[in-house]
Each structure stands twice: as structure tokens, then as C-alpha cells.
């Protein structure tokens, strides 16, 4: 991959790591503390057991250092890099008890993130040659959004709004409430535009072609066409006529995404990137152990 995924906000990373370690060893690692001499040291390698795209290398290191800052953790490939089975991705050396305590949390996060990055890369490859962006959704694991969205960027994808506080996105249930109260959708969107600050993005979801014109005429920034067929997307794009960004959503998978992107949409949002990605198989294998 050639993308620069940026960084994970330090406070978000710290919160995830602290919570995960407290969950996994609330009163210490009774196994290692019982069996492993306190003076023992170990060197271990983080190895790939299947091909993929790396994400979470820095998270892996952060977990190790949170358990024991004296652990020497070295990454051999940067996040966003492709690897094959057998590649050594990182090496850690330090007190054996600390390495063993950090192992599962470090692996869980790196495996989850690398799975998301790998899945995202497959979608990005599928739409190559179009101008469509692959973006994630808010269908993330509670508490892990910052890490999972970083993983999407490692795979070459992009992020949708990060939270409910970031932008206005009126979806089907919002519109259902408005319609039940007798409010015209176009009027509601125009009213919202007038009340919003000029920096706030306004997006509206529609599920029928006849809803497009009143929404676009109300000056939205993006219109989401939900569960439209490729033919319907093409028709919808003609109605929009460049007055807003067009996002396709719903029914998107690796079998359909190329045809969706080929219609000319600007954005393809894919919930499966974060809610259905399989954790990649990575292993931490101790190569050298010294019990002093």
C-alpha cells in the first residue's frame, strides 16, 4: 500500500490499551507469576501466518510498553504494508513475564486491525479505475472506533463522519419521524441548512429516485442513495447533476462494489469493513528464553 494512514489519537489509544489490559489481567497474570522466574527474559517474533495488510503495529508496541516500558519492541514493516505468510513483522525482547502478559491483548488488537486493513484493501482494489472512494461507517466495535477507522485508512480506504457530533446525516428513521409529523423533507432540509454553521456538512439519505430532487434542491452537500441498483444509481446521478456528492450505500460487497463504483458515484460506504472483517492470523512465537 502507498497510503499514509496518519495516526491514532494518543488519548484514544491509551484508553483502549489500559482498558484491555485491565480486563485481561485485573489482578495480574497468575500463570506467569506462578511458573516463570521473575528474572527470566524472552525474545519473541510477531509473525504472519497468512497474507494481508498490516495495521496496528504501533498498537502492538504500545501494549508491550504499557505492561513494561523496558520491553524492546521493534517493528520491521510499517502499517499499510502488504505481507505474506511467514513474514516477521516485529520483534520483542524483555522480561518474560511482561511479554507473556501483553501477548494476548497485543495480538487481539493487531489481528483485528490487520483484518480490517486487509478487507479494505480488497474493496479499494475492486474499484480501481473509478473515482469512487471506499469509506467506512459507524458500524464499529464500541470503544474501538479510533483503532478500526485507522485500520481502514491503512487499507487505503477513507473515513465517514466519526461520530454523531461531526455532521448532519439524516437517515431513513429521521425522515420517518419528520413524515409522521407532516413535515416536508425538502422544507426540513432547508430549515436545517439555515440553522447550521457554514462548516457543518449536511447529508441526507433517500431510498427512491423521486426523493432526490427536493433534497438536492434544498442545498445538501451529499446525498446518499440507499439500496439503489446500478441502473438506479446512474439515473439518480443524472438527477443530481453535479449539485452534490453522491454516496452509494446498502447491498455493497466484493461481488457488487465494482459495478456500483462504475456508475460514477463519488463515495461507496461499506459497513462490512468494520462490522464483518475477519481477524487476521498473526502469531507471537518465543524464540529465545533465558531463565536467570
* 153 in any annotated domain: yes
Stated as kind and residue range, the H or E segment containing 235 is helix 230-240
Shared domain check, 190 and 118: no
How would you classify residue 250: left for phi > 0, otherwise alpha for psi between -120 and 50, otherwise beta? Answer: left
The residues near 213 (Cβ < 8 Å, ≥ 6 apart) are 239
> Would 250 be classed as within a structural domain?
yes
Same domain assignment for residues 232 and 255: yes
- Cα(89)–Cα(94) distance, integer angstroms: 17
Buried b (16+ CB within 10 A) or exposed e, 109-128: bbbbbbbbbbbbbbbbebbe
% residues pLDDT > 70 (the chain):
98
> For all residues of the chain together, what is the average pLDDT?
95
CB 119 within 8 A of CB 273: yes
Least Cα distance to 269 among 235, 234, 227 occurs for 227
Environment class of 285 (CB within 10 Å of its CB; exposed 0-12, middle 13-18, buried 19+): exposed
Check whether residue 213 and residue 253 sit in a common domain.
Answer: yes
Q: Is residue 4 part of a domain?
A: no
Q: Hey, which residues are catalytic here?
A: 104, 139, 171, 205, 226
Asked if residue 94 and residue 184 are part of one domain, the reply reads no
59-74: pLDDT as tens digits: 999 999 999 999 999 9
Range of the domain at 283: 10-124+278-290
Q: Do 104 and 136 share a domain, yes or no?
A: no
pLDDT > 60? residue 2: no
At 218-259, the pLDDT tens digits run 999 999 999 999 999 999 999 999 999 999 999 999 999 999
Calculate the CA 39 to chain-centre distance: 40
CB contact at 8 A, 80 and 1: yes
Report residue 185's pLDDT band, with 50, 70 and 90 as the boundaries.
confident
Instruction: Indicate if 172 and 260 belong to the same structural domain.
Output: yes
Q: Which residue has the cell 463519488?
A: 266
Q: Please tell me the total count of domains within the chain.
A: 2
pLDDT tier, 292 (very low <50, low <70, confident <90, very high otherwise): low
Please report whether residue 41 resides in a domain.
yes
Secondary structure of 91-152 as H, E, C letters: EEEEEHHHHHHHHHHHHHHHHHHHHHHHHHHHHHHHCCCCCCEEECCCCCCCCCHHHHHHHH
The pLDDT of 203-222, averaged and rounded, is 95
Q: Output the domain CATH number for residue 209.
A: 3.20.20.70
> Quick check: helix, strand or coil at residue 79?
coil
pLDDT in tens, 73-106: 999 999 999 999 999 999 999 999 999 999 999 9
Q: Which CATH number do you get for residue 26? A: 3.90.1170.20
Spell 141-166 as b/e; 16+ CB within 10 A means b: eeebbbbbbbbbbbbbbbbbeeeeee
270 and 283 in a single domain? The answer is no
| Domain presence at residue 78 | yes
In eight-state DSSP terms, residue 240 is H
Confidence of residue 175 (pLDDT cuts 50, 70, 90): confident
| pLDDT at 291 (0 to 100) | 67
Q: Are residues 142 and 193 in the same domain?
A: yes
Amino acid at each position: 500500500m502507498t497510503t499514509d494512514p496518519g495516526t491514532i489519537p494518543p488519548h484514544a489509544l491509551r484508553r483502549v490499551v489500559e482498558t484491555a489490559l485491565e480486563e485481561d489481567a485485573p489482578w495480574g497474570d497468575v500463570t506467569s507469576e506462578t511458573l516463570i522466574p521473575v528474572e527470566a527474559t524472552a525474545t519473541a517474533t510477531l509473525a504472519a501466518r497468512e497474507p494481508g495488510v498490516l495495521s496496528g503495529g504501533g498498537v502492538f508496541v504500545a501494549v508491550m510498553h504499557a505492561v513494561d516500558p523496558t520491553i524492546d519492541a521493534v517493528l520491521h514493516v510499517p502499517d499499510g504494508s502488504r505481507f505474506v505468510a511467514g513474514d516477521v513483522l516485529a520483534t520483542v525482547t524483555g522480561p518474560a513475564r511482561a511479554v507473556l502478559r501483553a501477548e494476548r491483548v497485543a495480538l487481539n488488537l493487531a489481528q483485528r486491525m490487520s483484518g480490517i486493513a486487509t478487507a479494505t484493501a480488497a474493496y479499494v482494489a475492486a474499484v480501481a479505475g473509478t473515482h469512487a472512494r471506499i469509506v467506512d461507517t459507524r458500524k464499529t466495535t464500541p470503544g474501538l472506533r479510533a483503532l478500526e477507522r485507522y485500520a481502514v485508512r491503512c487499507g487505503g480506504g477513507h473515513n465517514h463522519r466519526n461520530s454523531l457530533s461531526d455532521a448532519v446525516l439524516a437517515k431513513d428513521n429521521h425522515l420517518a419521524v419528520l413524515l409522521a409529523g407532516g413535515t416536508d423533507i425538502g422544507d426540513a432540509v432547508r430549515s436545517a441548512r439555515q440553522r447550521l454553521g457554514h462548516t457543518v456538512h449536511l447529508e441526507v439519505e433517500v431510498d427512491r429516485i423521486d426523493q432526490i430532487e427536493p433534497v438536492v434542491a434544498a442545498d445538501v452537500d451529499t446525498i446518499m442513495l440507499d439500496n439503489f441498483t446500478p441502473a438506479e444509481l446512474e439515473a439518480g446521478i443524472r438527477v443530481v447533476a453535479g449539485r452534490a456528492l453522491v454516496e452509494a450505500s446498502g447491498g455493497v460487497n466484493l461481488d457488487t462494489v465494482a459495478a456500483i463504483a462504475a456508475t460514477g458515484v463519488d463515495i461507496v460506504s461499506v459497513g462490512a469493513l468494520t462490522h464483518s472483517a475477519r481477524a487476521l492470523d498473526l502469531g507471537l512465537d518465543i524464540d529465545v528464553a533465558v531463565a536467570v
